[in-house]
Amino acid sequence: MREDIPRLQRYFLKPISKFISGKMFGSILLLLATICALVWANSPYVSSYYHLWNIDIVFGIGNYQLTDTLGHWINDGLMVIFFFVIGLEIKREFLVGELSTAQKAIMPIVAALGGMVAPALIYIVFNTGGIGADGWGIPMATDIAFALGCVMALGRLVPLSLKVFLLALAIVDDLGAILIIAFFYTEELSLISLFAGIIILSVSWLLNRIGVRHTYPYAILGILLWLAFLQSGIHATIAGVLLALTIPAKSHYDKNRFKDETSSLLMSFPEKDFNIMLVDETQKQIVNQLKCAVDNIQTPLQKLEDALYPFVSYFVIPLFALANAGISFSTGGAGVGFFNSITIGVAMGLFLGKPLGITLFSWIAVKAGIAMLPEEVRWSQIWGIAYLAGIGFTMSLFITNLAFGDPLLLYQAKIGILVASLFSAIMGIIILLQDHFIQKNKKSA
């Protein structure tokens, strides 16, 4: 019986472990894209960098046309898919993942709350009443790809339960960032467009309720919803999150029906052999029926997440970084330097606010008896993970673009993000390594 326990644990944790491992390659591409953007923006070809993202791109049907720069299409168009995948992840985690029960959810929710409140307060201290006051949401975000990439680089030195805690914390953090974008970084509302978006969302929800499981209707509605939000004043990327919440997440078949149907089909599969391909009609029919059974046990949410995750991680996010991380240090003169309220507020918010907020709120929750530390996790490891949560790259850059229109303010905020993310990654890795060697020496003593 004891031998079966590790086997069962591996079985149930395998999807989580696979998901976390998949982030590693994405974080490498994200890092390479960031380095390329910085090198390009500070090379003799800097003008080509800015010219590329300011090229006008036109999409239209008949007299209806949308014209914007390539950079805006990436930020307002492709990033919708990124937010859609985040929405799918959030829904999955609340239904069957690490946020599906109160016991599992309390610790990462409280930790994420602390990791949002403390950075915002630190930023406000430096920027109250100043030109950078609108940027308080910038240091509140965690970049899940970079943070998990650092954890994966440490390999088995970090227990899986700690990786899962970081994953759950980052997902709650993403949800918080989405709400902040929706409520605080929204332009003047167009009620007609907003009403159209609500109708489209209602249709998508109705399709879910009546059992429509094909993804194409939801894709068409998603495009219409994006267009409605694009004209409404609410940032268009929020359409991706809201659409994701309407995607069906329940299997059409339960376990017993799936087993009975597939067993029956396999038992009736003709014994006729084949060397190259199936040619027997009965065999082909049974294979198609098996495909339908597999399709009925998989949910549209899982299918979409599996299909879009590589595209988002390996293309959309690196492209976003390439288009937004390029800072020409010579462009803004002295005003781009580190010693200004925006850069200091962002940097201190991420580097100090994140670890302090996450650790303090977690400690209070545990002491109050409403949460428990993850299994085999120590406070020193929580401190290290809290520093890694200070890597606020992708979402922080995104909120920066919403908060500031002035290029100088954009540069100042981006420098704070880059500096804080770099030092947070280094500090987090050092703390986790130090904890490992301390525990190792204690065991050998």
Instruction: Supply the DSSP string of 116-143, one letter for each residue.
Output: HHHHHHHHHHHHTTSTTGGGGGGGG---
Q: How far apart are CA 355 and CA 291, in angstroms?
A: 48
Determine how many CB atoms are found less than 10 A away from the CB of residue 327: 20
Flag the least confident range among 40-54, 136-150, 182-196: 182-196
Write down the pLDDT at residue 268. Answer: 83
Phi-psi group of 259: left, alpha or beta (phi > 0 → left; psi -120 to 50 → alpha; rest → beta):
alpha
Smallest CA-to-CA distance from 152 within 314, 33, 14, 22 is with 22
pLDDT in tens, 251-271: 877 788 888 888 888 888 887
13-65+112-154+300-344+363-444 under CATH 3.40.50.300, yes or no: no
| pLDDT higher than threshold 50 for residue 9 | no
Write down the pLDDT at residue 334. Answer: 47
Smallest CA-to-CA distance from 140 within 108, 162, 112 is with 112
Q: How far apart are CA 305 and CA 312, in angstroms?
A: 10
> What number is the average pLDDT over the span 424-441?
90
Q: How far apart are CA 229 and CA 186, in angstroms?
A: 11
Q: How far apart are CA 134 and CA 410, in angstroms?
A: 12
CB 138 within 8 A of CB 392: yes
Determine how many CB atoms are found less than 10 A away from the CB of residue 253: 18
> What number is the average pLDDT over the span 427-435?
93
Q: Which two tokens stand for residue 234?
A: 């609410």
Flag the least confident range among 93-102, 119-128, 209-218: 93-102
> What number is the average pLDDT over the span 315-325?
92
> What number is the average pLDDT over the span 305-311?
89
Write down the pLDDT at residue 5. Answer: 43
Flag the least confident range among 4-8, 77-81, 170-174: 4-8
Determine how many CB atoms are found less than 10 A away from the CB of residue 71: 18
pLDDT in tens, 25-61: 788 888 899 999 999 999 998 899 999 999 988 877 7
pLDDT band for 336, please (50, 70, 90 cuts). low
Maximum mean pLDDT: which of 7-11, 37-41, 103-107, 211-215: 37-41
CB 122 within 8 A of CB 348: yes
Smallest CA-to-CA distance from 325 within 40, 34, 74 is with 34
Smallest CA-to-CA distance from 318 within 397, 228, 405 is with 397
Write down the pLDDT at residue 19. Answer: 52
pLDDT band for 2, please (50, 70, 90 cuts). very low
Write down the pLDDT at residue 109. Answer: 93
CB 179 within 8 A of CB 392: no
pLDDT band for 12, please (50, 70, 90 cuts). very low
Flag the least confident range among 57-66, 74-83, 292-301, 410-419: 57-66
Write down the pLDDT at residue 342. Answer: 95
Q: How far apart are CA 303 and CA 299, in angstroms?
A: 6
CB within 8 Å of 67: residues ≥ 6 apart: 56, 57, 58
Task: Give the residue ranges of DSSP H helices in 298-389.
Answer: 300-311, 317-324, 341-348, 354-367, 379-388
Domain spans of the chain, in order of start: 13-65+112-154+300-344+363-444, 253-298
Smallest CA-to-CA distance from 358 within 166, 180, 177, 176 is with 166
Q: How far apart are CA 359 and CA 367, in angstroms?
A: 12
- If you search the block for the tokens 């609410």, which residue do you land on? 234
| pLDDT higher than threshold 50 for residue 3 | no
Write down the pLDDT at residue 445. Answer: 63
> What number is the average pLDDT over the span 120-132?
94
Q: How far apart are CA 26 and CA 272, in angstroms?
A: 45
> What number is the average pLDDT over the span 199-224?
93
| pLDDT higher than threshold 50 for residue 272 | yes
pLDDT in tens, 351-397: 999 999 999 999 999 999 898 888 778 999 999 999 999 998 889 99
CB within 8 Å of 143: residues ≥ 6 apart: 391, 392, 393, 394, 395, 396, 421
